[in-house]
Amino acid sequence: MGKEERRKAGAGVRERHETGKPRLRVFLAIFPPPEVQRVAAEAIEGLRAPGDRVSWVKRENVHFTLRFLGEVGESGARRAAEAAAEIAPDHPAFDAALGTLGAFPDGRRARVLWIGLSRGAEPMVALARSLEKALERRGFEREGRPFAAHLTIGRVREPGRDWSEALGRATLPPAAWRVDRVLLIRSTLSPQGSRYVEIAAAPLPA
């Protein structure tokens, strides 16, 4: 198993020793309100093309991942919720707005298509860093790459197309909202796509 597979498969040492217990695929995230998700969905429709070989994110699933934890046991999910609840009081609610579109690693070799932030990136990064430290104190492995605030809209299944021009000419209408909570989400995979269920919420102070 490679480094990436290990990162996705396990979040904490204790989870790997839990046997015979249900496993939960979870992540911590910020979900924009429906009106902002609709703007992201409109951007997707502007990029979508027949045979583009992209797994586009459903409107209701659009979110900013603060930390993907992979499959954990019930105790791991509980400790993740505790980590969010611990750091939330130190991070006031903040304003955010969608920005320009981009791709990882870049437009010519795109694997992930995303929308960035024109406002709110700094407090979101600070939130993710505090969350990382709180998770590490609870036995989770440290994330191997720095956090970048982005909203994933599509995953390219067969790289090869240069997305630079399409992403560069895409424009979004104003889409701003108040970030006031961190959510712990359970993700269930199916042939119809991922289904998300909120497990816990950590409100940010006003």
Reported for 197-202, long-range contacts at CB under 8 A and 24+ positions apart, including other chains, are 199/24, 199/26, 199/77, 199/81, 200/81, 200/84, 200/85, 202/81, 202/84, 202/85, 202/87, 202/88
Q: What mean pLDDT is predicted for residues 17-25?
A: 70
Residue 89 vs residues 11, 26, 182, 198, 203: alpha-carbon distances, Å: 24, 22, 11, 20, 8
Question: What local confidence, expressed as pLDDT, does residue 19 receive?
Answer: 53
The pair of structure tokens assigned to 61 is: 């699933």
Question: What local confidence, expressed as pLDDT, does residue 193 receive?
Answer: 81
Average pLDDT in the chain: 91
Confidence band, pLDDT 50/70/90 cuts, at residue 14? very low
Domains of the chain: 33-203 (3.90.1140.10)
| pTM (whole model) above 0.75 | yes
Is pLDDT above 70 for 56? yes
Is pLDDT above 90 for 67? yes
Q: How far is it, in rounded angstroms, from Cα 121 to Cα 64?
A: 11
Question: Tell me: the pLDDT tens digits for 34-51?
Answer: 999 999 999 999 999 999
